[in-house]
Homo-oligomer: A and B are copies of this chain.
Amino acid sequence: MGRISDSRERIVRASARLFLSRSYGAVSVDELCAAADVRKGSFYHFFPSKAELAKAVIDLHTQGLLAQLSAASGASAAERLRGVADAVGAIQTRFESKYGRIVGCPFGNLAAELSTLDDSLREHLAAAFARWEREFAVLCRQAQADGALRDGVDPDRLARSLLALAQGQILLAKVEGLSAAGIPAALRDLIDVHLREGEA
């Protein structure tokens, strides 16, 4: 069945790194290849285009995100919700120490730059966001079932707000050059204000 190789994986990992530290458009395929120690012909053996590579990078980040989210634990749904707020912060903190500064959300960065340019890439990103939102929604519905949410709070809308707020806070931290430390705090604020008075 022919030769085996980890070239594809090297390309995706190097691209994830370079896209984060700069941007999709600012990194050329040549540079990607050099960073992955692969020649251009090999690149186009694995990916029909630079845009298809971006989808693979999105999938890699989705894996990492889901792993981090599933590590969030807690006795109550409300506590697990705070746990995912911290998980998002943990990812950003990891990026921050790896790149020396906040570099933004991998999904958000690509979404802002590319979703008006490539419709199939936009849909791929939309699916990644939907996956992420679903993780939040499960916990929000559990919190509601536990009676932890204030009256009138729609758990699905709360989940979406959490996702949107995370995106916005990460973007602001990036543009203002702040640290990642403030991000989970802001998300916890949003969670807490939706909990019934007296809920831990």
Contacts and interface: CB of A to CB of B under 8 A. Distances in A.
* Chain copies in complex: 2
B175 A122 contact: yes
Main secondary structure of the interface of A (DSSP, over half): helix
A109 interface: yes
A32 interface: no
Interface stretch (A8-16, A21-29, A36-44, A60-68): A21-29
Q: How large is the interface on A (under 10, 10 to 19, 20 to 34, 35 or more residues)?
A: 35 or more
Contact of A164 (B114, B160, B169): B169
Contacts of A176: 126, 129-130
* Nearest 4 CB-CB pairings of A with B: A164-B168, A112-B112, A25-B25, A167-B168
